[in-house]
Amino acid sequence: MNTFVSPKAVSPTSLHQKLRDPSLFKEQACVGGRWVDADNGETIPVYDPATGSQIGTVPSTGAPEAIRAIEIANSAYRAWANQSALTRAQIMEKWFDLVIENSDDLATIITVEQGKPIGESRTEISYGAGFIKWFSEEARRTYGQVIPANETDRRILAVKQPVGVSAAITPWNFPVAMIARKCAPAIAAGCPVIVKPSEFTPFSAMALALLAQRAGLPDGILSVLTGPPEGIGSVLTGHPTVRKLSFTGSTRVGKILMRQCSETVKRVSFELGGNAPFLILDDADIDLAVSGVIASKFRNAGQTCVCANRILVQDGIYDRFADKLAQAVSEMKVGNGLEPGVAIGPLINLPAVEKVNRHIENALGEGAKALLGGVSSGTGQFCGPTILTGATASMLVAREETFGPVAPLFRFKEIDDAIDFANDTPFGLAAYAFSESMHRALYVGERLEFGMIGINSGSVSSEVAPFGGMKESGIGREGAGHGIDEYLELKTMHIGGMNRPV
């Protein structure tokens, strides 16, 4: 039985009182280096999902501020692109240092506006800071090529140059890490970037931008626009000066943004929805598989695009695995993420809770059994973790991304059938396979149609590795060396007349 900690156990002090450096709590947008209110004077409220209380407000900016941010970015572009890579790297290293120095405050901001447990917020800060550090290093390695030409009097150079003014639309589930994953490669490559963070989690974005400013990032290289998505989004996708859009969010919204970007043929990189299968073979190490499922499924209360959505367990191990998982998950404390020991925080909003309940009700109605948890009621935005046995392919939990702490266990006999079921989805972001036989694990891994495969690991997230999906889960890769290429154009220069006497 899970323990629920009453949200009222945490004192309702305001966010800035909880911070060592209260100036990190900014209630203004950052347009071209200036902290501003909305032109129309309007604001939107931001709420703590654990308590429902208002944390503060942010300017309801829209098209006019977006256009201004783009124009300022464009005027700052050449000077930034023409800086040496070393100078860009040094400013980014300073930014990284400031993020690490302020990690307690940044983690508090994340937990208060997003809800995840404070320990997970700290992990997110080091994950996000990792992108800043990594891309500060990659800034200096955007090597081109000298290509042997067919003609002896010709030289061919292929050089990498920044794509230009870029935009990033980022989600609420990792309010620091997703901004860092997009902005750090853009800035390292020499591109100014305009960020539209989720309206649920703007304060993390502001704090990150403020630290970039303190690190010496020139005005116009990083702007943050707050407010409802539509007005800002249509300028970012439609304006001809913006040459690249990076988006993390749903496949539905990704398709709309892609259509809008097509008018000006922008470069896009999208990380969209998932429906991750998690295969546990008969010969898996059960304890390792249990901790893998917990890491993947219950991180951020199941609100990640890469989290296990369908847990496929082979017949011979199914019952033992289910019991061990239920035992481990029953010890997870649910409550306000600021409380010590809490492992599962609130969901982001009530529609998210309703979706989780709808999935559980549908599964129970179609014959699944709740080994732990069940439909939540009267718990506000908190959902206790649920484990369902007897899940089948026709249930909503098999077809849609639940985005909550529900672990449906599907039983399979033959590995090839499990692979077919795993691939039977339009999504292809992450998948997982657990087996003590490397041969069997690789057999499965090679056949899964997903961009990232965790083998005997419930985690696929790291700044050093390519991150991204196949099929309707996205386009492009973030992180690793590939992440900076998304912000670089390849330009070929053909140089003739090289055989003339000097």
Minimum distance from CB of 477 to ligand SIN (Å)?
Answer: 12
Q: What is the dihedral of CA 238, 239, 242, 247, to 10 degrees?
A: -30
Pick the closer one to ligand SIN by CB: 225 or 305.
Answer: 305
Residues 6 or more apart whose CB falls under 8 angstroms from that of 415 comprise 279, 281, 314, 440, 443, 444
Nearest-angstrom CA–CA distance, 487 and 479: 12
Minimum distance from CB of 173 to ligand SIN (Å)?
Answer: 5
Pick the closer one to ligand SIN by CB: 174 or 318.
Answer: 174
Run of H or E residues at 196: strand 193-196
Minimum distance from CB of 101 to ligand SIN (Å)?
Answer: 23
Pick the closer one to ligand SIN by CB: 224 or 305.
Answer: 305
> How far is Cα of residue 82 from the mean position of the Cα atoms in its chain?
30
Minimum distance from CB of 199 to ligand SIN (Å)?
Answer: 17
Take residue 489 and report the two structure tokens written for it.
């154009």
Smallest CA-to-CA distance from 306 within 272, 352, 265 is with 272
Marked catalytic residue, from 271, 401, 463, 478: 271
Could you please report the per-residue DSSP string of 311-325?
A: EEEETTTHHHHHHHH
Q: Identify whether the C-beta of residue 428 lies closer than 8 Å to the C-beta of residue 450.
A: yes
Pick the closer one to ligand SIN by CB: 120 or 339.
Answer: 120
Q: Identify whether the C-beta of residue 112 lies closer than 8 Å to the C-beta of residue 338.
A: yes
Pick the closer one to ligand SIN by CB: 174 or 412.
Answer: 174
Place of tokens 């860009």: 88
Pick the closer one to ligand SIN by CB: 85 or 455.
Answer: 455
Minimum distance from CB of 229 to ligand SIN (Å)?
Answer: 17
Marked catalytic residue, from 191, 305, 307, 383: 305
Minimum distance from CB of 427 to ligand SIN (Å)?
Answer: 13
CA dist 52 → 114, 125, 276, 278, 380 (Å): 11, 24, 31, 34, 9
Q: How many residues does the chain have?
A: 502
Q: Identify whether the C-beta of residue 388 lies closer than 8 Å to the C-beta of residue 368.
A: yes
- Pairing of β 155-162 and β 145-147: antiparallel
Take residue 342 and report the two structure tokens written for it.
């809490």
Nearest-angstrom CA–CA distance, 140 and 255: 34
Which residue type sits at 223? S
Smallest CA-to-CA distance from 224 within 257, 269, 183 is with 183
Take residue 266 and report the two structure tokens written for it.
């922008």
Minimum distance from CB of 358 to ligand SIN (Å)?
Answer: 21
Respond yes or no: is residue 271 known to be catalytic: yes
Take residue 396 and report the two structure tokens written for it.
């909503």
Minimum distance from CB of 201 to ligand SIN (Å)?
Answer: 13
The site for ligand SIN (CB under 6 A) is made up of 173-174, 248, 271, 304-306, 461
Nearest-angstrom CA–CA distance, 314 and 409: 10
Pick the closer one to ligand SIN by CB: 324 or 471.
Answer: 471
Q: Is 490 helix (H, G, I), strand (E, B) or coil?
A: strand
Respond yes or no: is residue 30 known to be catalytic: no
Place of tokens 């209380």: 53
Q: Is 410 helix (H, G, I), strand (E, B) or coil?
A: strand
Minimum distance from CB of 430 to ligand SIN (Å)?
Answer: 9
Pick the closer one to ligand SIN by CB: 206 or 305.
Answer: 305
Which residue type sits at 472? E
- Torsion sign over Cα 51, 55, 59, 61: negative
Pick the closer one to ligand SIN by CB: 220 or 273.
Answer: 273
Q: Which residue is nearest to ligand SIN (CB)?
A: 461
Take residue 134 and report the two structure tokens written for it.
């990594």
Q: What are the residue numbers of the active site?
A: 271, 305
